[in-house]
A and B are shown apart, each in its own frame.
Chain A
Amino acid sequence: GAVVSQHPSWVICKSGTSVKIECRSLDFQATTMFWYRQFPKQSLMLMATSNEGSKATYEQGVEKDKFLINHASLTLSTLTVTSAHPEDSSFYICSATLTGATIAYNEQFFGPGTRLTVL
């Protein structure tokens, strides 16, 4: 259980275009999803916290108009990279936490990641 999927797994786009990445919790409901960015050989950098039905909370230094996050349902969050440029090329990973009163700790379940290459 607790599987998180991402789509697409990789995408190549031209500079100036927008790209949408989907994050789905397949077998559980996730009130909260997180979006991370990972540069080669580096750690995960939290970009934003996405709560179902409300606006995402962005980390300092992350452009909210550049990285649009929508969390329309308990199983789906999307990240749209708008007007992508080569410096946006990265590995984007989402995670989700289980919803429920019985949850004693905040374990995150990670998606497999999406590699974005902007030409």
Chain B
Amino acid sequence: AQSVTQLDSQVPVFEEAPVELRCNYSSSVSVYLFWYVQYPNQGLQLLLKYLSGSTLVKGINGFEAEFNKSQTSFHLRKPSVHISDTAEYFCAVSERTGGFKTIFGAGTRLFVKA
């Protein structure tokens, strides 16, 4: 069984400051890792994904994440946030063995203040 833990339920940050949203996972098999963003009353949009290869993954809107296998982490970072980045962010994991089933973390609410 797999699980995803997002360590912070809310992260307030000032505009133009850097931010890190933390995600840890557990799984008995190799996994794919994802970060999604959800704006109010909308579906999820893929920010970035780790499939294989380089552990540093760059996504849309200036976000990046680093896969750390030994620490089973996949933290999301952005060097300078904007007001428009205020949203809910979900880390997700999917086993490589197929079935396409994806487990989501509880989410982190990023609130960017002026």
Contacts and interface: CB of A to CB of B under 8 A. Distances in A.
A97 B45 CA distance: 14
B51 A104 contact: yes
B44 interface: yes
Interface stretch (B13-21, B64-72, B98-106): B98-106
A46 B32 contact: no
Interface string A83-119: 0000000010101010000001111101111010000
Interface in B6-44: 32, 34, 36, 41-44
Interface residues of A, number: 24
B32 to A, nearest CB: 6
Q: Which size bracket describes the interface of B in this complex?
A: 20 to 34
B32 A105 contact: yes
Contacts of A113: 41-43
Contacts, number: 54
B88 to A, nearest CB: 8
A107 B46 contact: yes
Given A104-B51, A105-B32, A32 B44 contact: no
A108 B41 CA distance: 19
Interface in A47-63: 49
Interface string B91-114: 000100011111111110100000
B43 A43 contact: no
Contacts of B98: 106
Interface of B: 32, 34, 36, 41-46, 49, 51, 90, 94, 98-107, 109
17 contacts: A34-B100, A41-B107, A41-B109, A42-B107, A43-B90, A43-B105, A43-B106, A44-B44, A44-B90, A46-B102, A49-B99, A49-B101, A97-B100, A105-B51, A106-B32, A106-B102, A111-B43
Interface of A: 4, 6, 32, 34, 41-44, 46, 49, 91, 93, 95, 97, 104-108, 110-113, 115
